[in-house]
Amino acid sequence: METTAPGDVPPFAFNCHFATQMRRQDDAVLAVDLWLDVLVRSDGTTHGVYDHDGFDQAIRHGWLSDREAAGARTGLEELTDLIQRNALVAFLAAAHPFGRTAAPAAPAMRSVPLGEVPLLQPDVRPSW
């Protein structure tokens, strides 16, 4: 099933969002957004890579470590290879079978200043 997004973003069925590994801290789950997104149509092969400008800017400003940037680039190569080989849907289905589910309600999300999240500070976070 495809969805639409505002602006010039085309319809997509999968939003492959790049981030660091999620970490649990008390009742919160934390990750660093690595800016890159790959939107894939329902055919599993038509796709586009978005937010390159934000990614490049994050690197220039030092918001991402060299390790995080390299990991995002490697992940992008691996993902686009899966897509180009028409193997994305099979990969996702093997990782977590598709089907209806009765997912529990998600807790309310809230934003906090970065300074209040020590685990995500530069030179402290595990991916730095």
Note the pLDDT tens digit of each residue in 107-126. 788 788 877 777 777 777 76
pTM, whole model, 2 decimals?
A: 0.73
Residues 83/40, Cβ–Cβ less than 8 Å: yes
Higher pLDDT, 128 or 4: 4
pLDDT at 24 (0 to 100) = 85
What structural domains and CATH numbers belong to the chain?
14-97+113-120 (2.40.380.10)
Q: What is the pLDDT of residue 23?
A: 85
Contacts of 22 (CB under 8 A, 6+ apart): 29, 30, 31
What are the tens digits of pLDDT across the range 16-52? 989 998 888 888 888 888 999 999 998 889 999 999 9
The per-residue b/e assignment along 46-63, b for 16 or more CB within 10 angstroms, e otherwise, is: ebeebbeeebeebbeeeb
| Res. 2 pLDDT band, cuts 50 70 90 | low
Tens digit of each residue's pLDDT (9 = 90 or more) over 71-106: 999 999 999 999 999 999 899 889 888 777 777 887
Residue 26 has phi, psi (to 5 degrees) of 55, -120
DSSP assignments along 19-66, one per residue: EPPPEEETTEEE--EEEEEEEE-TTSS-EEEE-HHHHHHHHHTTSS-H
Residue 3 has pLDDT above 70, yes or no: yes
Q: What is the pLDDT of residue 98?
A: 76
